[in-house]
Amino acid sequence: KDMVYINFDSNSRMADLFESDLNTDRLIMGIELYVGRKIVPDNTLLIFDEVQEVPRALSSLKYFYEDAPQYHIVCAGSLLGIALHEGTSFPVGKVDFLSLYPLSFKEFLTAVVGEQFAGLLDNQDYAMITSFRQIFADALRQYFYVGGMPEAVQNFAQEKDFNEVRKIQKRILAAYEQDFSKHAPIEIVPRIRMIWDSIPSQLARENKKFVYGLVREGARAKDYETAIMWLCDCGLVHRVGRVKGAGIPLKAYEDLKAFKLFVVDVGLLGCMAGLRQGTLLDGNDLFTEFKGALTEQYVCQQLKTIEDLGVYYYTNDRGSCEVDFIIDNGETAVPVEVKAEVNLKAKSLKTFRDRFHPVISVRTSMADYKKEDWLINLPLYAIEEIYECIRKI
């Protein structure tokens, strides 16, 4: 019925309040004095934002859970993952975790086009989806440019102004750059910037495996591992590891030395790479820009929103066969080949199938939905439904 929001960033009063003992009655009284409002048990939701700035606030969750469960608390923090990996005391088993991502394409569709079209994807009504394929394709092109950052989507839904969207994206990227300097250990800040700045060129290559030499000539893994880990922990980068086999769990077959790096959002990647607005008018050419980097980024981004889905990629030892993604739903390994246009040739997918005999394979492209004996063609705009598709096999 009610909500109290507290931002802990540069908030000395809250830092002082939690620095003393963590008696829940005292904390609630202090928060009430701070916000000038009564906190009603079971009716007031407390939101602690940027909670990593006051580690004792995280520790207090244990006492709220044990001594005052009538108070409902949500904690958020853009760099919360960093705090947890740096040894901040955390009440294990006392809280539920929820990972937030940029809006998926289906959520974008709901906000910009209409929830009835997102409903078609939910229901996997591919006959009806095919009838309205142009609406889905046009919305997907818009999503490639706008991405899923909430402010960008909200602005675009209201104004339909791509120029304003780009300004918002540049502002978000500038804020990330400031976070590097503010929160990362000073000795790795330059390396974080170099890794971050190299990602568009890394993904624009035919072989998208991360290459340290593209960051700086002569660069070695041991010099940049901490910087990559920092970017992953704070959620700005997705690390997709290579697997050498197709057994379950895929984690057991991971080659820790080989991986791809994707950024958190396709719209931000386009902004970083200087994607021009006119590309939206070039039909399916948008999907092949930067050697399909945007399309592969998009697919990775949608897969990452699916809970408990392991996401990897496959190459053989000779490098002659690569499958863009291999997903692990806990029961089977499913190869996923990404096609940036309507081209349906799937040589690598067939090679992988002949060697490992997966139950089903998935090709995602701008072609319509089609299920064959061993292969499903899933439209790019429906890739978020992949888990449900393979679950029914």
Q: How confident is the model at residue 95 (pLDDT cuts 50, 70, 90)?
A: confident
Report if pTM > 0.75: yes
Q: Which amino acid is at 279?
A: T
Domain residue spans in the chain? 2-85, 105-391
Question: How high is the pLDDT of residue 10?
Answer: 85
Residues 185-209 have a mean pLDDT of 95
Residue 80 has pLDDT above 90, yes or no: no
Residue 87 has pLDDT above 60, yes or no: no
Q: Which amino acid is at 75?
A: C
Question: How high is the pLDDT of residue 389?
Answer: 86
Residues 172-179 have a mean pLDDT of 94
Q: How confident is the model at residue 284 (pLDDT cuts 50, 70, 90)?
A: low
Residue 18 has pLDDT above 90, yes or no: yes
Q: Are 53 and 10 in contact (CB under 8 A)?
A: yes
Question: How high is the pLDDT of residue 338?
Answer: 94
Question: How high is the pLDDT of residue 390?
Answer: 84
Write phi, then psi, for 137 (nearest 5 degrees).
-65, -40
Q: Are 79 and 113 in contact (CB under 8 A)?
A: no
Residues 122-140 have a mean pLDDT of 95
Q: Are strands 361-365 and 375-379 parallel, antiparallel or unpaired?
A: parallel
45-54, 242-251, 343-352: which range is least confident on average?
A: 343-352
Q: Residues 148, 154, 138, CA angle at the centre, nearest 5°?
A: 60
Residues 67-84 have a mean pLDDT of 82
Question: How high is the pLDDT of residue 83?
Answer: 58
Question: How high is the pLDDT of residue 89?
Answer: 64
Give the mean pLDDT of the chain.
Answer: 91
% residues pLDDT > 70 (the chain):
94
| Residue 52: HSE in the Cβ half-sphere, 13 Å Cα cutoff | 15
Q: How confident is the model at residue 82 (pLDDT cuts 50, 70, 90)?
A: low
Residue 86 has pLDDT above 70, yes or no: no
Q: How confident is the model at residue 258 (pLDDT cuts 50, 70, 90)?
A: very high
Question: How high is the pLDDT of residue 383?
Answer: 97
